[in-house]
């Protein structure tokens, strides 16, 4: 491999994600990833010691984006406008770059993800984002609506099965559904 370490890591992540999505996390081996890349297992081990490390590497970017959103939301008033902006920023983050493929991986490998530290971290961040979306309305209904708002965005990757739908159309639909849920959370402005 003659490319930079960063480029190699990105190639490994892309190929692993492709194989995990095609075959499932459990059915994919490090050997298969190395073979698809055309490298030795030793070269792969230089960058990642396990499949868990590979998953954590592409989850880390999503966690970082979620942390930024949580921090931003915590500095904003608990208003409908803030909630709409938060879910819009969340959708922008989830539809950027490789994240749509990561979302498909999550959807197809939910059982495995629950047992990995990365999956537990994702769940914790989702709950914190949900808290920010319902801040100012502590009712159980508001808490549920807030989390369902987040699910409206990321479940659009597997729930909307219309052939030929573009990412922009999918995002627009997800945000429309999310907005219907947000409008029912108390506006404390």
Angle of CA points 121, 10, 28, to nearest 5°: 70
Give the CATH number for residue 114: 1.10.357
Give the CATH number for residue 3: 1.10.10.60
Are 133 and 97 members of one domain?
A: yes
Cα distance between residue 75 and residue 145, in whole Å: 21
**Residue 93 pLDDT class (50, 70, 90 cuts):** confident
Are 65 and 131 members of one domain?
A: yes
Contact 182, 84 (CB under 8 A): yes
Range of the domain at 33: 1-49
In a domain, 189, yes or no: no
Domain boundary (49, 69, 87) is at: 49
**Residue 157 pLDDT class (50, 70, 90 cuts):** confident
At 44-85, the pLDDT tens digits run 999 999 998 998 887 888 889 899 999 999 999 999 999 999
Domain count of the chain?
A: 2
Are 79 and 121 members of one domain?
A: yes
At 96-113, the pLDDT tens digits run 766 667 777 777 777 777
Are 66 and 147 members of one domain?
A: yes
């Amino acid at each position: 491999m003659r490319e930079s370490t960063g480029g190699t890591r990105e190639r490994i992540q892309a190929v692993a994600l492709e194989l995990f999505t095609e075959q499932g996390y459990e059915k994919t081996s490090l050997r298969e990833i190395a073979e698809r890349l055309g490298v030795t297992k030793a070269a792969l081990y230089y960058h990642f010691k396990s499949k868990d490390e590979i998953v954590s590497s592409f989850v880390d970017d999503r966690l970082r984006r979620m942390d930024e959103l949580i921090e931003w939301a915590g500095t904003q008033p608990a208003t409908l406008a803030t909630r709409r902006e938060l879910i819009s920023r969340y959708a922008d983050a989830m539809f950027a770059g490789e994240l749509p493929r990561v979302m498909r991986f999550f959807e197809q490998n939910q059982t495995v993800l629950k047992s990995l530290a990365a999956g537990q971290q994702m769940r914790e961040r989702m709950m914190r984002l949900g808290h920010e979306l319902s801040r100012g309305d502590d009712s159980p209904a508001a808490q549920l609506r807030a989390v369902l708002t987040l699910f409206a965005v990321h479940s659009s990757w597997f729930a909307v099965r219309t052939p030929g739908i573009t990412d922009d159309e999918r995002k627009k639909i997800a945000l429309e559904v999310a907005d219907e849920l947000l409008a029912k959370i108390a506006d404390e402005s």
